[in-house]
């Protein structure tokens, strides 16, 4: 018996700080399956299918142009409105999707978690990766519009900070993942938090420079907007492509530190909740 070799050994978690990277890698095929499911199932029984990836940001942008551009006349720092709003929308959509979907990990997958073993972090990670694929499609739409205006106007000025774009996307994904796994752990006991999340994320968008530039914020409110970790991320993205926006090294460091702390807290709470959540869901 002592010389027997086992294909899989499941041991109890030794620390709430532990992230079993090796186990996640061993279950990478399952991760890929969940990613495929997340992309295919959502639009499987729709008429337009994946075209919704394009329709949603386009329709949202048109509404913003009418309401905030034409009626409210909010400044876009001289950038064409469609480009200004689209740049903020695709970034915000990815963050909010990472947040909202991962926040439902435990409650929506309790049946699976209670029947079979696999590293539980695979589920929220699959949401972040599938969201990244959708973001890539919408980013392609943004680039089409962007290059049109780049060659037909002189109001946009790309610069060297374009090199920061992959970093900004990673930080944004980790921030959404961190917030998501914190709230999914809390909603196992407090279900009414689900309503707060949906409402809160919508409100948070208006505290983020998606539909307005930082330069348009009154000075007495600017500190509060800059305290939002998504502000330096979205502003740096706009600055990279459009040449306008609030690019600040200390702001990006703040967003990075905030993201890492949020992710660490999320992992701790997630690991602690994972041990007994089946008894409370």
Q: Is the pLDDT of residue 205 over 80?
A: yes
Rounded-to-integer distance, Cα 162 and Cα 152, Å: 20
Confidence of residue 152 (pLDDT cuts 50, 70, 90): confident
Supply 212's token pair. Answer: 């307005």
Mean pLDDT to the nearest integer, 249-272: 91
User: Crossing angle of helices 165-186/193-206, nearest 10°?
Assistant: 150
pLDDT digits (tens, 9 = 90+) for 100-140: 888 887 777 767 776 777 777 888 888 899 889 889 989 99
Instruction: Look at residue 20 in the predicted model and tell me its pLDDT.
Output: 64
Backbone angles phi, psi at 158, to 5 degrees: -65, 155
Lowest mean pLDDT among 36-40, 163-167, 215-219: 36-40
pLDDT tens, residue by residue, 24-51: 788 788 888 888 887 777 666 666 666 7
């Amino acid at each position: 018996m002592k010389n027997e070799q086992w294909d899989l050994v499941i041991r109890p978690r030794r620390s709430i700080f532990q992230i079993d990277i090796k186990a996640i890698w061993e279950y990478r095929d399952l991760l890929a399956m969940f990613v495929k499911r997340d992309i295919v199932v959502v639009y499987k029984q729709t008429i337009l299918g994946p075209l919704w990836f394009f329709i949603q940001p386009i329709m949202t942008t048109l509404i913003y142009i009418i309401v905030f551009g034409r009626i409210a006349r909010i400044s876009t720092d001289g950038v064409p409105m469609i480009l200004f709003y689209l740049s903020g929308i695709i970034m915000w959509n990815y963050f909010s999707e990472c947040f909202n979907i991962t926040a439902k990990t435990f409650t929506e997958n309790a049946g699976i978690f209670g029947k079979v073993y696999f590293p539980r972090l695979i589920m929220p990670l699959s949401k972040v990766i599938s969201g990244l694929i959708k973001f890539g499609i919408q980013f392609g739409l943004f680039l089409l519009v962007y290059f049109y205006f780049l060659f037909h106007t002189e109001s946009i000025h790309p610069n060297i900070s374009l090199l920061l774009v992959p970093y900004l996307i990673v930080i944004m994904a980790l921030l959404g993942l961190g917030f998501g796994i914190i709230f999914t752990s809390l909603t196992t006991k407090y279900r009414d938090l689900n309503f707060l999340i949906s409402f809160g994320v919508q409100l948070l968008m208006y505290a983020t420079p998606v539909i307005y530039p930082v330069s348009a914020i009154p000075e007495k409110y600017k500190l509060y907007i800059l305290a939002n970790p998504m502000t330096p991320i979205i502003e740096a993205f706009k600055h990279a492509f459009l040449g306008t926006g609030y690019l600040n090294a200390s702001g990006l460091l703040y967003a990075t530190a905030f993201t890492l702390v949020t992710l660490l807290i999320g992992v701790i709470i997630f690991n602690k909740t994972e041990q007994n959540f089946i008894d409370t869901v």
